[in-house]
Amino acid sequence: MYAIVEIAGQQFKVAKDQKLFVHRLSEKKGESTSFENVLLVHNNNSVSVDSSELSNTKVTAKILNHLRGDKVIVFKKKRRKGYKVRNGHRQYLTEIQIESIG
């Protein structure tokens, strides 16, 4: 059984007990949260995409950790102009574990 759910503006394919990294959520570490914007549910060869069937379906997850991702280097250059700019960025992430679908 798996579901496609929207978490923090992005769509993820999730299954029970799966761990994944999403954009930073406001909940504290150790708390449980639920996501109600479920787009698809696949359960034993039956697929549900109807919004009326999925309106009462939600995915619950536990917040495991808040962290920062790897550094991404942003380098800009314009040739023959002497223009070079180097910036770095580290995205704030939250590690979650899916507890249940349904």
Q: Is residue 34 classed as helix, strand or coil in its secondary structure?
A: strand
| pLDDT tens-digit readout, 61-91 | 999 999 999 999 999 999 999 999 999 999 9
Q: How far apart are the C-alpha atoms of 49 and 39, rounded to whole Å?
A: 6
Residues 6+ apart with CB under 8 A from 53: none
> pTM, whole model, 2 decimals?
0.84
> If you search the block for the tokens 């697929």, which residue do you land on?
47
Give me 96's structure tokens.
């979650």
Q: How far apart are the C-alpha atoms of 95 and 2, rounded to whole Å?
A: 19
| pLDDT tens-digit readout, 32-66 | 999 999 999 999 889 989 888 888 999 999 999 99
